[in-house]
Structure 1
Amino acid sequence: MILISHIPNSYQDEIGELIDGINDMTYSIKILLKRNEAVCKLSSAIRFEMLCQQINPHFLYNTLDIINGLILNGQKDEAVRVCEMLGLMFRYNLNGEEDSTLEQEIDHTKQYLEIIQYKIQGLNTDLVCDESIRKLKIARFVLQPLVENSIKHGFAQKRGECLVSVCAQDEGDRISICVMDNGAGMLPQTVDELENMKWAVQKGIPPERNQTTAGERRRRIGLRNIYERLFVKYGRSLEFRIETRQGFGTRIMIDIPKERG
């Protein structure tokens, strides 16, 4: 499709008004085409990421290792339970829907945590959701990846009790979600890069490599993927905030409009 460029206008009459209208319409169409192109590209990236989520080799390997250990220890019932949770997780991942209810997202996260608790001794979890919003639709693959991000990066070097919590609250015409951990927290440089990442996503700028550690880079990429999906769905109505303190933990707060389905 070829659009005419801006038409110079020196008329002060009805013809001038018509030209102004055409110019405004042309500009709006150009903006919409650019946005559509960006959304199409991102949709392809999201579909690819969902496929990666379906076959996460590290998580699958760790889970099979857990099952093997339980069987060797004679904990047959526990091994069966882990298999059931893994099957439910994969079934959820294979569902081609773009959205899920909050209840489904929380159940998916619970299944993940139940498996991980066999690996991380002393991991405490708390997942709470207001009953009034459990059936409302939100973007898929948000809660579990955020929790996984907390566990992988927050608790890697932690000694003592580990806590991760998810709280979803009804805030009138909006939903407030908080994912919190008492892990290692983030480096100041990582926090700055995440703020820059949010700005880049809003402007459609691709990610850049930098000098952070591989672990911090993976954390940033994971959060970018989540933020990108949320921004495509909710646009400027999305609020995404990160509070962190090194040695004390991280809190990620998401505020989105309600979407009834």
Structure 2
Amino acid sequence: MSFFKKIMVLMFVLLLPVIFLYSYSYQTSVQVIQNEIEDSSIRQLNFFLSQVENTAAQLALHSITLSNESGEYGVREISQLDQISSYVARIKTRKTIEEKLLLFSSSSSWRNNISVYSPISNIALSTYPVIEYKLPELQEQLITKWIFEPKDNRSTEDRFSWYTTDPPSARNDLSTANLVVETSFSTDNLRNMLDDFMTNRKGNPFFYRNGFEPIMNRKGNPEHITELVRYFQDHQPVISGSHDQVMISGKPYMVSSVPSNALGWTLIDFVPLDEVLSPMYKSRNLFFSVIIVLIILGTAISFVLYRNVQMPIRELINNVQKLKRGDYSARLSNQPKNEFHFLFSRFNEMAAEIQELIEKVYAEKLRSREATLKQLQSQINPHFFYNCLFFIVSMSRLGENQAVEAMATNLGDYYRYTTRVEKQSSTLKEELGLVNNYLTIQQLRQQINYDIQIPPEMLDLPIPRLLLQPLVENAIIHGLEPLVGEGRITIYMEMSVSSINIVVEDNGVGMTDIQLKELRRTCSQPLTEEMGCGVWNVHQRLIYMYGDESGLLLDHSELGGVKAVLSMRRDVAVHV
């Protein structure tokens, strides 16, 4: 991993824990605030509902008090009102009862109405502003409890009513009751209290009961309440003390509810979470804005480090790799105006010195190779020279002057070619002339036939001197001399896309697989005093001149002897 990548990873490693810890802290804070808002909302709803139920309980108590009142001009006198003989006394009693009903009604802060009805006398008195009061049809389960009644001919407003019978046992049969007392209050009282409840709050409270229109406040958003009511048609309101989050108009709202056992309705309030949590949202946005700024600054700093540190290091590494691959001309062209300037300058000086030293060593190596080639050439010539001298001496003693002349002529041509050591390269044509002289000399000594098949266009091919003669000499000495009968040597050329091969084959006694394997191994080993130097010299000179992919290849010949192949890289051979 590069230095720049490490810096980037380190920056993110430092930022990630901060982001994680803040996110955890933010979620915890939001959860605490939500819980506090939920608890506060429940407490406020419970307090508000207790006020509503206490006021309603006072009104219900009026009904019970009136149903139990007795004595002169008491409410119970309504059952005997038709039995009073005096008209004046009857009117006075009636007016007294009505005033008492108004007194009880005005004692409450709510606008309400109280009515009394006597099934015995069939007389009804009420504070309702109507000409004639009629008692509605009641069922047993609707007595002594608050019931919701929509507006009708008795009242133009929706209301809650409470009915009390005297005696209480008459609730099963109203015809046996002495008195029925009705207390009712308008839903406007609840709306007024909801409006006051909203004065210092962000909620939108209302009373809800399935199957009825909600009792809404006048300051909130009725559209949101309507949408929430539609939501409750498919989902029951949350139970008391719990909460739910509902999406209204695409925004989250926290919904709280408290059921009223007295009224039979549920007080529901919903608060927009975005407004309540807006300070937390601002803090969150500010934090992430700071994080983004830090990331941008960190990226900018990383880019500066990348440009002033990473790029010079990368350029330095690339040039070191060039030196490793053998390109000693590598130089650092960019010269930064910082600490790398000194390093780059010293690197260029070091590379220049290394290149100079390598060139000197290479020149010394070339001179060493040239000296080695001359030494190898001098090793080859005496070996052949001694054999020829012995032949001349032998023929001279026998009086074979023609053979001596032929030997001397070919030997002279041979040494005229081999003694020119100032020139280390030759052509294939000249090398073949030398081989022809050598084979002619050998024909004077024994029965040998030879065949040279080289394309004329390849005769000008440049090759090192004295490559073919040692192979021909080995073929004669080790292959043909032990052979009984006529010997044969064939020289021809094979070419491929990558190499040029000159093949020397003989029909001599040949070699076993083990001998061939040992000879191949010997050619690749350093020269020792125990081994012959002819074949080894040829192989090593080919490697010197044409590289490791060239060399001397040895194998069995189809003629019966050994097949020696001089393999030279084609791209190098044509430029030697």
TM-score by length of 2: 0.37
Cα gap change, 1:239/1:159 in structure 2, threshold over 3 Å: closer, same or farther?
same
**Aligned: 1:44 with 2:371:** yes
Q: Aligned residue for 2:130?
A: none
In 2, Cα distance between the equivalents of 1:246 and 1:42?
36
With over 3 angstroms needed to count, the CA separation of the structure-2 counterparts of 1:259 and 1:176, relative to structure 1, is same
Q: Which residue in the other structure is 2:574 paired with? A: 259
Q: Which residue of 2 aligns with 1:72?
A: 397
Equivalent in the alignment of 1:192: 517
- Give the Cα–Cα distance (whole angstroms) in 2 for the partners of residues 86 and 46 of structure 1: 22
The reply on whether 1:109 has 2:435 as its aligned counterpart is yes
Equivalent position of 1:6 in the other structure: none
206 and 240 in structure 1: CA distance in 2 versus 1, 3 angstrom threshold: closer
Equivalents in 1 of 2:431, 2:496: separation in Å?
Answer: 19
8 Å Cα contact 2:428-2:463 kept in structure 1: yes
Tell me, yes or no, if the aligned pair for 1:164 and 1:181 is still in contact at 8 Å: yes
Distance change in 2, residues 1:22/1:86 (3 Å): same
Q: Name the SS for the 2:517 alignment partner.
A: helix
Distance in 1, matches of 2:409 and 2:527, equals 37
Identity of aligned residues (%): 24
Note closer, same or farther for the CA distance 1:191–1:173 as it changes in structure 2 (3 Å cut).
closer
Structure 2 residue 449 is matched with structure 1 residue 137: no
The answer to which of 90-99 and 247-256 deviates more is 247-256
* Structure 1: distance between partners of 2:385 and 2:392: 10
SS in 2 for 1:118: helix
Q: Which residue of 1 aligns with 2:388?
A: 63
The root-mean-square deviation of aligned C-alpha atoms, in Å, is 3.3
Q: Distance in 2 between matches of 1:48 and 1:103?
A: 24
Look up the match of 2:526. 206
* 8 Å Cα contact 2:479/2:510 also seen in 1: yes
Matched-pair contact (CA < 8 Å) for 1:150–1:183? yes
1:15 aligns with 2:312: yes
SS in 1 for 2:562: strand
Determine the C-alpha separation between the residues in 2 that align with 1:159 and 1:152: 13
Equivalent residue for 1:118?
444
Name structure 2 gaps, 5 residues minimum: 5-309, 329-353
Contact 2:380 2:534 in 1 (8 A): no
Which entry has the higher C-alpha Rg, 1 or 2? Answer: 2
Report the counterpart of residue 100 of structure 1 in structure 2: 426
CA distance in 2, matches of 1:73, 1:260: 49
Q: Does the CA-based 8 Å contact 2:503-2:566 persist in structure 1?
A: yes
Cα distance in 2, alignment partners of residues 245 and 172 from structure 1:
23
- State yes or no: 1:228 paired with 2:540: yes
Instruction: Give how far 1:251 is off.
Output: 0.5
| CA–CA distance in structure 2, aligned partners of residues 66 and 197 of structure 1 | 31
Q: Identify if the C-alpha distance between structure 1 residues 14 and 166 changes in structure 2 by more than 3 Å, giving closer, same or farther.
A: same
Contact 1:185 1:247 in 2 (8 A): no
Is structure 2 residue 565 aligned with structure 1 residue 250?
no
Greater length-normalized contact order (CA 8 Å, ≥ 6 residues apart): 1
2:487 equivalent in structure 1: 162
Where 1:159 maps in the other structure, the secondary structure is: coil
Find the aligned partners of 1:136 and 1:16 in 2 and give their Cα distance: 50
Task: Name the count of aligned residue pairs.
Answer: 237
TM-score by length of 1: 0.76
Paired AA for residue 206 in structure 1:
P
**Cα shift at 1:171:** 5.5
Q: CA deviation at 1:231?
A: 1.2
